[in-house]
Amino acid sequence: MELLQGRIRDYAWGSRTAIAELQGRPVPSDGPEAELWLGAHPGAPATVQRDGRPVSLTELLVAEPGHWLGERLVGRFGTRLPFLLKVLAADTPLSLQAHPDAEQARAGHAADVGRVNYVDPYHKPELLVALSEFEALCGFRDPGESAAAIAAFGVPALEPVVAALRDGPAGLREAVRLLLSWPRAERAGLVAAVLAAAEAGPDSADAGLVRTLAAGYPDDPGVVVALLLHHVRLAPGEGIWMPAGNLHAYLRGTGVEIMAASDNVLRGGLTAKRVDVDELLRVLRFEVLTEPVLGPEQVEPGVLTWPVPVEDFALHRVEVAAGSPGVRLTLPGPRVVLCRSGKLSVDDGVGVVTLDAGQAAIGAAAGGPLTVAGAGEAFVATCGMH
């Protein structure tokens, strides 16, 4: 194992406390800290020390793919780390978005000469596990519920949207199309009408959501699109799984996120960035998500996981009690370990690293089983191939 120095991304929606507190730095931080990246993503690769200088993980994977990734992983994904582990800390809502599946990403990247929608040929499924109370929008809820929720605001202009939703799942696509194609000159008026109804009448979670979103996006029809989705409130340890075609948005909170390493994002609102309505409609899966919350499964004493159906990544949480012999994990390499709390030693038979809260380590595929000892909590990211 080797110490891994992550990179902090300073997106405007980030927290000025969560990541700093995790790493034991002064609070508040000088500016927003949205994500701590622990991987080899070319946009902000983590580093390890070589001869007293930081060397990017991306550079090492290309130079020594067999050592770091192993032949099997190279054969499947090439000389790149297929996953990216993050700590995500949101103080304000992120954009409504969805990601393509693997086939759509490959075809879109090949055809998208300007790399407007598809900047790489990879899919981007995501799993987020809450570290604090966490709010998100995730997946379409029953369209009958959405129709009733929107009708309760009593805005006449939204009657065609309500009518489409009353057609059931078949009407979801039309409802989303109507909202995202709303005439630009009329968007501020639409949001103002819905907000006025929320402030004057409905005492509901939907009204509260509208008030929150409209405060930041007063002319964005994504405020109404949000009412078509599950409004999820996660307790620490609960997760949400976002496969291809799932419309979602993070609203508030801190979590550990693991995702396939890709930048392919199709936005649908709550953003000043570009929204390609036609391409988003092509990628979205207009299916009702019956259960948006993903609970953990115990693998063995002290070890939890959140099973997801992809080969790119897997995430485990390890809790080690003081005085115990530690936990031994046989997981495919490479492995990235993030210490959430306490002080832990991680040993892959090649090297031993001691981690404090907020620190991370990486072990190559060439290493052996992973032993986590000491006292504390860690998250371990690996590929999902068995």
Distance CA 33, CA 138 (A): 23
Given the residues 80, 141, 252, 267, the one annotated as active site: 267
> Which tokens go with 152?
């309760």
Q: Which of 242, 233, 364, 256 is nearest to 318 (CA)?
A: 256
Cβ neighbors of 173 (< 8 A, separation 6 or more) are 281, 284, 286
Distance CA 330, CA 154 (A): 57
DSSP bridge pairs for 250 = 136
Distance CA 305, CA 317 (A): 6
Distance CA 231, CA 234 (A): 10
Cβ neighbors of 299 (< 8 A, separation 6 or more) are 305, 316
| Cβ-based burial of 342 (10 A; exposed 0-12, middle 13-18, buried ≥19) | middle
| 231 annotated binding-site participant | no
Cβ neighbors of 243 (< 8 A, separation 6 or more) are 125, 309
Considering Cα of 27, then 31, then 34, then 39, what sign does the dihedral take? negative
Distance between alpha carbon 135 and the CA centroid of its chain, in Å? Answer: 12
| 186 annotated binding-site participant | no
| 298 annotated binding-site participant | no
Number of alpha helices (DSSP H) and beta strands (DSSP E) in the chain: 12, 22
| 248 annotated binding-site participant | yes
Active site residue 267: yes
Q: Which residues are catalytic?
A: 267
Binding residues for Zn(2+), by number, are: 97, 99, 126, 248
Binding residues, by number, are: 97, 99, 126, 248
